[in-house]
Chains A and B, each alone.
Chain A
Amino acid sequence: EVQLVESGGGLVQPGGSLRLSCAASGFTFSSYSMNWVRQAPGKGLEWVSYISSGGSPTYYADSVKGRFTISRDNAKNSLFLQMSSLRAGDTAVYYCAREIPGAWDPWGQGTLVTVSS
């Protein structure tokens, strides 16, 4: 079964840092580009970052550029999102998603990041 499982979310103070992980199983992780997307409470979906199958290139939404870093470890079937200088506006459920031609499938179950003092 193709599966993605996020971890690493939690409560962090404004200005703090957090590292999210996404563990992949059931498919050849190194063959797929991956994305992070987030959803603020009660709001819609916002793409955050992209990484190609080999680790380069990477892309970021303007809202996180310079603060977030996407990376992957193909040997460990894992995707990461290093988040720093966190703001209240970064509070959201963060999902990782596998990119297939023309869509994302599947998505992980999500991990909640709350930025608050």
Chain B
Amino acid sequence: IQLTQSPSSLSASVGDRVTITCRASQAISNYLAWYQQKPGKAPKLLIYAASTLQSGVPSRFSGSGSGTDFTLTISSLQPEDFATYYCQQFKSYPLTFGGGTKVGIK
């Protein structure tokens, strides 16, 4: 199952609303997770089951979608949110990731 993320990169300002999309090549129900990765660090789980916020993750992060189209939204971008974001499908092996979206500072 191929996952296509868009955009591959974006520039935004602190306080902006940011939306990242992830499209699956076939229906995956809600078997989708989102991760944040900062340079030199391991990925960190943000959202699983498409829309469930992982414990400890700020509420400005939210996820939505089902089937083939999914969205990660950051409601008000904070300085610590500048990072690369990946989606991952959990529907079937081989588990696959999107290509990543790098969120940079405008």
Contact = CB atoms under 8 A, between A and B. Distances in A.
Contacts of A100: 48
B42 A95 contact: yes
Interface stretch (A9-17, A66-74, A81-89, A102-110): A102-110
Nearest to B98: A44
Instruction: Tell me the interface secondary structure of chain A in the complex.
Output: strand
Interface string B80-106: 000000101010011111111000000
Contacts, number: 56
Given A46-B97, A61-B94, A110-B42, A102 B31 contact: yes
Interface residues of A, number: 21
A80 interface: no
Interface of B: 31, 33, 41-45, 48-49, 52, 54, 86, 88, 90, 93-100
